[in-house]
Structure 1
Amino acid sequence: MNQDYIQPDAWSIIEEGFDKDRVKSSESLFSLGNGAMGQRANFEEHYSGPTFQGNYIAGVYYPDKTRVGWWKNGYPEYFAKVLNAPDWTGIDVEINGERLDLAACAEVRAFRRELHMKEGWYHRSFEAVLQNGTEVRVEARRFLSLDSDELGVIKYEVTPLNREAVIVFSPYVDAGITNEDANWDEKFWEPIETRHSSREAFVVARTYKTHFKVAAFMHNTLFRDAEEVCAEPVRTQVREDKVCLSYEIAAGRGERVTLQKLGGYTVSTNHEGDKLVAAAQEVVEAAVKKGYDALLQAQKKAWAEIWEMADITIEGDVKAQQGIRFNIFQLNQTYLGKDARLNIGPKGFTGEKYGGSTYWDTEAYCLPFYMATKNQQVARNLLAYRYHQLDKAIENAEKLGFTGGAALYPMVTMNGEECHNEWEITFEEIHRNGAIAYAIYNYTRYTGDDSYIPEKGLEVLIGIARFWKQRATYSTAKNKYVILGVTGPNEYENNVNNNWYTNYMASWCLEYAAAQVYRVKEQSAPDYTRVAEKTGVNDAEVLQWKETAGAMYFPYSETHGVNLQQDGFLDKELVKVCDLDSSQRPLNQKWSWDRILRSPYIKQADVLQGFYFFEDHFTREELERHFDFYEPFTVHESSLSPCVHSIQAALLDRMEQAYAFYLRTSRLDLDDYNREVAEGCHITSMAGTWMSIVEGFGGMRVKDNTLYFTPKIPAQWKSYSFKINFRGQVLKIHVKASGTEFTLEGDTPLEVVVNGNRTKIMPG
């Protein structure tokens, strides 16, 4: 059964009632981020029940030593992981001598939390009866500033309900924390210094090995009702890695006392390492000067600007509306495109799984969202991230025996170096190289920016083409080039030969790289000369790419009329998912890996992923035949699967199926379909939810520099609308059962094709 405790609401994620079994899941769902840092929704006060502590800083990572029983040549030496950063959010609370702890209270009632997505804040409230009989009401509001992305704000209020109370607030900054997923139970942070005054504290710590320096800080202000209280600490506790300041305040029955805590991080990636405390003091000073109310108003304004462009409205289906907004909200919390050094981790700032690293998800799923809802530079930054790591991609390939500038981009990375230690992923899931080339094509197609390829992209394409040329093996038996020992997007088949998607992607990459070499040579001779001198590319090599691409082998079944997922797919016992006992799902939690690998079950779209990328290469009849063959074997146990199927079901006019897949992808975490949301949310697949509406139901495509739409609407909806930024022009699309309205901002007409009819949209 899926979870169903999140209350339906168009703009908020709401939980009502306290349940210890839901705490970890809610810590993920109510998480916050601002692109530079983020945190799980851990309680500010001490909690002795099961919890998953998590604060994270973008770009700060640790190379955790690879732990494998049998070392193989080529293994990465470490697994890079996002670190659980020093905690600035903690506030121990003592009431009439008893520590406030929801796991130990005599009673917890009226518990409610809300993540207000429209305005970008998180609020929690409850009433608690302590073991000493004191009853209190607590309200806590928290947000991470978008305007000042080194700053977070907490407003923590306590009101005694049945008697007067002496309340001790003990806010702290603590660098003595560990990761939930540490391989060796080791500490990742080395404390450097602490500083404090009556209101402020700073803990400076440095990561072992990578030597990132971070100053975690806090500033505290107390209020009784609305009046500020001048309070000196009654206790100051200082360790080498922690500072805790305790303030005592008396409150009458019904009298509210408040601690306002400013906190956050300054990092050596943005400041000189010996000036982190000074930088933090500047952040605090500016925030104190503005005051809490102005900071909150600025937060609302910043989020209003994001939603103005990124919002998707759905009329008549509140769960679908809540789902898409949750996805858009989390994507913007994770990455805002301000810093080209950063990328998008599959869990964002909501957990430690996947190490917070960059995967192919960015190029395959996230790029379209950022191209259409931000300006062109944001998407260009995502491409430039890979360009700047080309040297590392060439090194990665060299470690596996490739030569001559062949580039294999990592499956998992923080700095361009491969840092994933599962053989079947690291060395076999090479299709990620294709996604990076495809992203360059997709960006150029959508933006019309022809400058990126000659400036940066061509070098990347050459490195990728050289890899595919060397990775393909000529088979004399088949008189074709084959690609052996791979794992396709479907990770439930490892070490297979001739995964159709991988072979098709390799062939396309070789052809595309060749075409771009010719184009740059013809249209941008100085760039070609520079790139040719740097890489040594020449016409003879490019002809070899084309020869390999043209002779690539693609497994095919004449009996079924479909491209085969891999050579041995028909050797499996082809039992459909609908004939599986539901108690066996999810397979990855119920079956051995051996059993999964011998089964026909598909974790995520594989052949159909290729049909999604290269829709124009196939007829509608071919898509229908492949969809009908493969979808019944697909268990969708990857978050990246339902969105692709939703888009293709919509293309095939199977709107009930498309809607079901959309709901699954949009509410994957809210309803916890895969029973793993406690580990964090599926951030990168959330971009696929956006695609399900815009490309699926909206039918948006770009062909020959023109926008095409084939709008459709699920029966459950009255209408939906979205905006896209296409080459600097903002177009709003509003779809109803009765028809589609287009509204164009700006002052230049835009030609579009709707349901096959070419039409000119006039401004306004």
Structure 2
Amino acid sequence: MRVKVRPFSLEVEGYEADKEGWIGTLLTLANGRIGVRGDLDFAPSSTAGSYLAGFYEDVPIWRRELVVLPRLNGNYLVGAGSQIQHLVRRLDMREGLLRVEGVLQGGVSYSSESLAHLLYRNLYAQRINVVSGSEMSLVIGVDDPLNPFLGSETYYEHLVRARTDFGRDEVRVSYKLRDGRELWLRIIVKIQEGSEPLPFVTNRSSGFIIKGKEINVTKLALLGAAGESIPDARDWEDLRRSHVEAWRSRWDRIGLEVSGDEYMAGGVTFYAYHLLQLIDDSVEELMISTRGLHGHGYRGHIFWDTDLYLASFLSLLYPEAMRRVLEYRCRTLKQAMEYAARTGFMGARFPWEGVDDGYESTPRLIPTDLTQCKCVEILTGEQEIHVTSDIALALEFYYRVTRDEEFMRKCGLKLLVETARFWASRVTYDETKESYSIRGVIGPDEYHVNVDDSYYTNYTAKLNLELAAHHVERVLGDDRYKELLRDLNVSLDEAENWRRIASRIFLGRRKGKVIEEFSGFFDLSDFPRVNSLVRRLSMEELSQAAKSKVVKQADVVLALVLQNIFGGSNRDMLEANYDYYFRLTTNESSLSLPVYTLAALLLRKPEWEYLFRKSLETDLENLYANSDGGFHVAAAGGIWMVVLHGLLGLRINGDELEQEPLCSDALRVKLRVAWRGKRLEVSNCREK
């Protein structure tokens, strides 16, 4: 099997059943509302399925999860051999179309073109053509889905089929969820060649059988919650035309042009395309899970990466979408304030793993062995509190790009104030250090738990406090904020207290210019040298790692990179920490390599090209062997941080958007970025 990426195009040649979970992620079609995995149309697949944004339901252990919905692209052939003799699948990213061309045993040819409509958000459509030397059957069906539960051994059923209704050329299936909500799926078939559709129903599926030597059919799959309207259009060409125009318009607004190394240029467009697929222009908020609408990884939960790692891409290229991401945090601010109070603090504390209702959904224990009841203890929900400051930093980046005062009045200022209040109550004054400490936390490096004074956590908390103070001081004399300030009961004295705390937060011991990741890190034992760029530790090694100088992912270096993005950092300090920590890092998290790549590029280190290529392999080559669980959204955001802040050299210094690009023949990029209501054309190389 061969996977070939080019600018705005991905081609997969051949078929290997054990790799179809990964390929299904690469070829997923989505429109921000629905996502349909790209597992091969006419082959069974355990990872095939569909998703509806924000459609969660309660589940044991993980509290709530994104519900796996029926597969919308399944078209099964009866009468053809099972052996695939030739297969090519092409994803056209400019037009948002997936084309499949295959030849099966016996000379049966199958072709299809598919789309998740960018305007009719609950519509997935396919044009299917089958040609055979003898009569055969095409089965277009709806199979009732199951959510994976623990490994491959158990499943959880969210959807129960309530009723099935047939029309002459359509079937409508109604489902009930355990919580009483309803979901419907409507399949419409329009046959150009082939027999009249023959309805069928089994215990867990229903649909149509179409017979003939040549079958040419359009399938429309409409998915939605009760009460949603559906488009009346049934003409394939009209649907295709409006969809392609919408995708071309989306690309035109950002003006992306790439050239140079084909793999790098193609990878940049690939990750941009899959991020753009997660944007729904018709809703008020976006709940972007860590694996997108591409799979069931992490149960569809929402982490810090939606905010921090996507802030650059969305704010500079699609600021309306970044606002919608922040609107989700606004809607759940009340729950974040309840969370802080429930855990003994002031202000707002956001959950490490979020879902639609805004409450903490990180499991405390996860079973790993059903026969012996073995469990893994999970402490991130209790201790990885930097998510709160990450959201505040994402908001600040959005505001600096847009100067969206309306959003600040609606929610932004309140979010900054309440998160600052959380940090002001979370710090503890340490007499021996004569500074404020934040104890009992987990930083981005999750090998080390329950640590004190994580540099990343302390630095971002300090910045959160300073930003909240700045904005309160900025609007104190502004009549537009008068009522809001009164409702928040915030004063200049409180803002000054935040500044006082921020100025005295402990920011680690130093060895020269190297910053200690957390208190005591320098005193830990050495860990066997990390010889591979990406290394997954065994359970035995993880136990050793907790007591050793080894790092899971960019941590201190991430904090220093953020300093650069927000106006510049000390180059010598960045270089010293890059050189020290990179050799200690396993890069076991997909969030890590893009950050080290960006640091290397900012330092003009030649290895940036190699690191960038490896970052691109995250999904394109299934680098972490888990792409079957969905698209790595944060890694994609990180890759685009490399493009925007590294190659294009964009950083925000006060009110100025500054640029210090790196021209490279390996990758030339031109874009139109959003800045204060305008579009600015930027590139990393001057026109020849």
Whole-angstrom CA distance in 2 between matches of 1:591 and 1:617: 40
Match of 1:517 among 468, 472, 479: 472
User: Which residue is equivalent to 1:353?
Assistant: 297
Contact residue 474 and residue 482 of structure 1 kept, 8 A: yes
Matched residue, 2:594: 643
Match for 1:42 among 39, 53, 68? 39
Counterparts of 1:390 and 1:425, CA distance in 2: 20
**Number of the residue aligned with 2:561:** 612
Q: Please list, as runs of the form range in 1=range in 2, the aligned pairs for 1:535-554 lying within 5 A after superposition.
A: 535-554=488-507
8 Å CA contact 1:108, 1:128 repeated in 2: yes
1:239-250 → structure 2 map (5 Å cutoff): 239=203, 242-249=205-212
Aligned to 2:78: 94
Q: Match of 2:256? A: 312
User: Residue 681 in 1 paired to residue 657 in 2?
Assistant: no
User: Which position in structure 2 is the counterpart of 1:706?
Assistant: 656
Contact 1:659/1:714 (8 A) holds in 2: no
1:669 counterpart SS class:
helix
SS at match of 1:402: coil
Change (3 A) 1:314 1:406: closer
Map of 1:135 onto structure 2: 107
Mapped pair 1:392 → 2:342: no
Amino acid at match of 2:305: D
- 5 Å-filtered alignment, 1:587-626, equals 587-588=536-537, 592-615=541-564, 616=567, 618-626=569-577
After TM superposition, the score normalised by the length of structure 2 is 0.92
The corresponding residue for 2:59 is 64
Note the C-alpha offset of 1:308.
1.4
Whole-angstrom distance in 1 between the partners of 2:594 and 2:341: 35
Inter-partner Cα distance in structure 2 for 1:433 and 1:420: 15
**Structure 1 residue 153 displacement after superposition:** 0.8
Asked if 1:476 is matched to 2:431, the reply is: yes
Match of 1:73 in 2: none
Q: Distance in 1 between matches of 2:657 and 2:530?
A: 42
Secondary structure of the residue that 2:625 maps to in structure 1? coil
* Change in 2 beyond 3 A, CA 1:143/1:651: same
For 1:293, the equivalent position in structure 2 comes to: 237
Q: Check the 8 A contact 1:346/1:354 in 2, yes or no.
A: yes
Equivalent in the alignment of 1:459: 414
Aligned residue for 1:499?
454
2:20–2:40 contact (8 Å) kept in structure 1: no
The 2-side partners of 1:734 and 1:480 are apart by: 44
* Cα pair distance change 1:589/1:137, threshold 3 Å: farther
- 2:125 maps to 153
Q: 1:571 is aligned with what amino acid?
A: D
- AA in 2 matched with 1:572: L
Question: 2 CA distance for matches of 1:581 and 1:406?
Answer: 42
**Are 2:174 and 1:204 aligned?**
yes
2:149 partner letter: D
* In 2: Cα distance, 1:734 partner to 1:470 partner: 44
2:172 match: secondary structure: strand
Q: Give the aligned partner of residue 15 of structure 1.
A: 12
SS in 1 for 2:560: helix
Counterpart Cα distance in 2 of 1:14 and 1:34:
21
Structure 2 residue matching 1:52: 3-state secondary structure: coil
Distance 1:529 1:731 in 2: 36
Q: Give the CA deviation at 1:715.
A: 4.5
Q: Which structure 2 segments of 5+ residues have no match? A: 365-377
Q: Secondary structure at the match of 2:470?
A: helix
**Aligned residue number for residue 219 of structure 1:** 188
Could you report, residue by residue, the CA deviation over 1:523-564 in whole angstroms, capped at 9, with x for unpaired residues? 23x52443433x33344433432332222112212x343221
What's the CA shift string for 1:165-208, capped at 9, x where partnerless?
2222221223x210123686331013333211121011111322
Quick one: distance in 2 between partners of 1:410 and 1:624? 30
Say yes or no: does 1:556 pair with 2:509.
Answer: yes
Pick aligned residue for 1:419 from 340, 348, 361: 361
Change (3 A) 1:490 1:354: same
- Structure 1 unaligned spans of 5+: 67-77, 742-764
Aligned counterparts of 1:195 and 1:356: Cα–Cα separation in 2: 31
Give the Cα–Cα distance (whole angstroms) in 2 for the partners of residues 543 and 549 of structure 1.
10
What TM-score, normalized by structure 1, do the two folds share? Answer: 0.83
Letter of the structure 2 residue corresponding to residue 122 of structure 1 = L
Deviation at 1:234, TM superposition (A): 3.6
Q: 1:575 offset after TM fit, Å?
A: 4.7
Q: CA RMSD in A?
A: 2.4
Partner of residue 684, structure 2: 735
- Which residue of the partner structure matches residue 75 of structure 1? none
Q: How far does the alpha carbon of each residue in 1:197-223 deviate from its partner, in whole angstroms, 9 at most, with x for none?
A: 1210111113223x4422111001223
Identity %: 24
Q: Report the 3-state secondary structure (helix = DSSP H, G, I; strand = E; otherwise coil) of the residue aligned with 2:525.
A: coil
2:675 maps to 726
Q: Which has the greater radius of gyration?
A: 1
Partner Cα separation in structure 2 for residue 51 and residue 242 of structure 1: 16
C-alpha distance in structure 1 between counterparts of 2:536 and 2:553, whole Å: 13
For 1:630, the equivalent position in structure 2 comes to: 581
In structure 2, the residue matched to 1:69 is: none
What's the CA shift string for 1:62-107, capped at 9, x where partnerless? 12122xxxxxxxxxxx532111113333323212xxxx57xxx2x3
Q: Does 1:379 align with 2:322?
A: yes
Return the offset for 1:625: 1.5
Which one-letter code corresponds to 1:566 in the other structure? F
Q: Please report how far the alpha carbon of residue 330 of structure 1 lies from its aligned counterpart in structure 2 after TM superposition.
A: 0.3
Maintained 8 Å contact 2:14/2:88: yes
User: Contact 1:455–1:527 at 8 Å: present in 2 too?
Assistant: no
Please name the residue that 1:442 is paired with. Answer: 397
User: 2:684 aligns to what SS in structure 1?
Assistant: strand
Aligned counterpart, 1:72: none
